Amino acid sequence: MATIGWTHQRLEQLRQTRAWRSIFRRGPARTNRTRSLAVFGNLGLHVLPVKVREKSLSVRATYYLGSISFFLFVVLTVTGILLMFYYHPAVPDAYRDMKDLIYVVSNGVFLRNLHRLAAQAMVVAVFWHMFHVFYRSGYKPPHEFNWVIGIGLLMVTLFLSYTGYLLPWDQLAFWAITVGTNIISYVPVLGRPIRFLLLGGHIIGQNALLRFYVLHCVILPLAAVVLIAVHFWRIQKDGGLTVRDDHD
Amino acid sequence: MTEKRSYEVGLGSDALRQPRRIVFITRKTSAKVKGEVGAQLMSFPHVILRESIAFQVLTIALVVLALFWDAPLEQLANPLLTPNPAKAPWYFLGLQELLHYFPPVLAGVLLPTLVVLALVVIPYFDVNIEGAPLWAHRSRRRLQIYLGVLAVLFVLLAIYDAWTVLVPTVLVGALALIPYFSPTSNSRFQKLLGSRTLPWWVMTWFIAVALTLTAVGTFFRGPGWSWVWPWS
């Protein structure tokens, strides 16, 4: 107990310093006013509502599926950036980099496992989130537009996962992308041009790997960040999560 | 007793908790105008704390799994060596299973596009705001339409031999009929079925089909997309 008291005292002293008060322009978050300031005075948190309904916080209301999808995106961003340090989007260097991750890089296997696992989990979480929102009637007015944003996020998630699938450049990656991009060429009239644009040629080779790499590491994550921000912000603007007044 | 008003009046007077507001709730209103449900909490610290715990639990679970499960890595990509069967990522295997039965333009392009479009327009069809069960109104007329649609689906799927779509369709289709034929049952399961709306049944049918197709494509398909048992 004595240590807690000491820590508390030091923390209080820290809060009084000029540097601390220049960063957090409010007192300790003990009143409703300073707690509100803690949310809308913070760039990261201000997309959230200042108040939420108590019922919307229960586990059964959401199973935290939206949050879990977002957290998986965060884990994927961190592990993805670390993996980029060890990866060359080139044929066949990409495959050698996978071998290096397994045999040379410290904790390389763990890093790759974590990224792959979180990627599969995110696809599951996003789908489950959508179905759960549907069954809870969360798509109904005034949440219509946020539902549409959510469908956009589902598409981005699937495309992120799909573009990442090619990057290890092994048999699994190559033929999975072959099957997928062959489906695109069935689109009437536009099919072959779209496939050409996506692959940077008629076959899955060096150009396709580079395009998938840029899509996977730059374009799609940026799209996801923008859509996630709008998705969160609209929850607040649409008056909070849907809660039921009954008990089923 | 006075005549019943067509609207209700509510007055929130606790100015410390929320701004003063007067609400007129007329009957048959949209879901937008709904009374507040329960108490409110400050996001900081209540939401932040819960989200932090959720994040930590998730991270720990991921780390533990990543220690014991290894990401697959096969031989170097070889365009000359086609594996049999060549499979897409698991979330597209339902689509690949559809391609096995239907012409490519239908299964690979038309159906996925229709599914996405259907998902997008879901919230703009707010014809059933009160959430009335499927068989609540005009049930005889509805039954005729329902059986008609089901029969057309059945014939179409049977023509294409698409029985991995047919089986879940028939199962869900039959489940939806139970509350029509025994509307006053006391079992909890039947009461649950009886209270479900049309959109609920459509979505449940969609999920049942998608899950079946994905599971079959992932575990039960071998060389030449023939049926194999995963344990043999």
Cα distance from B208 to chain A (closest Cα, Å)?
12
> What confidence tier does B16 reach under pLDDT thresholds 50, 70, 90?
low
Q: What is the CATH number of the domain that holds A156?
A: 1.20.810.10
**Rounded CA gap, A180 and A216, in Å?**
16
Whether A183 and B46 lie within 8 Å, measured CB to CB: no
Assigned domain for B171 exists:
yes
Q: Is the pLDDT of residue A148 over 90?
A: yes
pLDDT in tens, A11-28: 889 888 999 889 888 878
Enter the tokens of residue B225.
């997309």
**Mean local confidence (pLDDT), A140-145:** 88
Q: Count Cβ atoms within 10 A of the Cβ of residue A185 and give its class: 0-12 exposed, 13-18 middle, 19 or more buried.
A: middle
- Predicted pLDDT at B34: 52
- Predicted pLDDT at B1: 45
Q: Is the pLDDT of residue A2 over 90?
A: no
Assigned domain for B197 exists:
yes
CA A7 centroid distance within chain: 35
Assigned domain for B18 exists:
no
Assigned domain for A28 exists:
no
Instruction: Name every residue whose Cβ is closer than 8 Å to that of residue B171 and which is 6 or more positions away in sequence.
Output: B208
Residue B137 three-state SS = coil
Q: Which domain holds residue A167?
A: 63-237
The H or E element containing residue A51 is strand A51-53
> What confidence tier does B19 reach under pLDDT thresholds 50, 70, 90?
low
**How many domains does chain B divide into?**
1
Which of B37, B65, B207 is the mutation pick for testing A, counting most A CBs within 10 A? B37
Assigned domain for B60 exists:
no
Assigned domain for A23 exists:
no
Task: Please report, for residues A62, A81, A217, B164, the alpha-carbon distance to residue A75 in angstroms, rounded to integers and kept in the order given.
Answer: 21, 10, 14, 36
Residue B41 three-state SS = strand
Assigned domain for B30 exists:
no
Q: Is the pLDDT of residue A248 over 80?
A: no
Whether B43 and A179 lie within 8 Å, measured CB to CB: no
Cα distance from B41 to chain A (closest Cα, Å)?
5
> What confidence tier does A247 reach under pLDDT thresholds 50, 70, 90?
very low
When CB atoms are compared, the residue of A127, A143, A151 closest to B116 is A151
Instruction: Name every residue whose Cβ is closer than 8 Å to that of residue B153 and which is 6 or more positions away in sequence.
Output: B169, B173
- Predicted pLDDT at B102: 94
- Predicted pLDDT at B79: 93
pLDDT in tens, A46-64: 888 999 988 889 888 899 9
Whether A45 and B91 lie within 8 Å, measured CB to CB: no
**Range with lowest mean pLDDT among A37-46, A162-171, B204-213:** A37-46
Can you point out the beta strands (E) in A130-237? none
Q: Does B39 touch chain A if contact means CB atoms closer than 8 Å?
A: yes
**Rounded CA gap, A177 and A209, in Å?**
10
Assigned domain for A4 exists:
no
Cα distance from B23 to chain A (closest Cα, Å)?
16
Assigned domain for A9 exists:
no
**How many domains does chain A divide into?**
1
Cα distance from A15 to chain B (closest Cα, Å)?
18
Output the average pLDDT for chain A.
Answer: 92
Q: Is the pLDDT of residue A156 over 70?
A: yes
Can you point out the beta strands (E) in chain B? 7-12, 21-26, 40-42
Looking up tokens 């007793």 gives B1
Assigned domain for B79 exists:
no
Q: Does B84 touch chain A if contact means CB atoms closer than 8 Å?
A: no
A188 contacts on B by Cβ (under 8 Å):
105, 109
**Range with lowest mean pLDDT among A82-96, A138-152, A232-246, B2-16:** B2-16
Q: Which domain holds residue B183?
A: 90-225
Assigned domain for B162 exists:
yes
Closest CA to B154 of B165, B143, B144, B145: B165
Task: Give percent of chain B above pLDDT 70.
Answer: 82
* Entry pTM: 0.89
Q: Does B73 touch chain A if contact means CB atoms closer than 8 Å?
A: yes
Assigned domain for B132 exists:
yes
A127 or B139, greater pLDDT = A127
What single-letter DSSP state applies at residue A42? S
Can you point out the beta strands (E) in B51-111? none
Residue A233 three-state SS = helix
Whether B104 and A121 lie within 8 Å, measured CB to CB: no
**Mean local confidence (pLDDT), A233-242:** 89
**Range with lowest mean pLDDT among A46-60, A190-204, B201-215:** A46-60
Q: Does B110 touch chain A if contact means CB atoms closer than 8 Å?
A: no
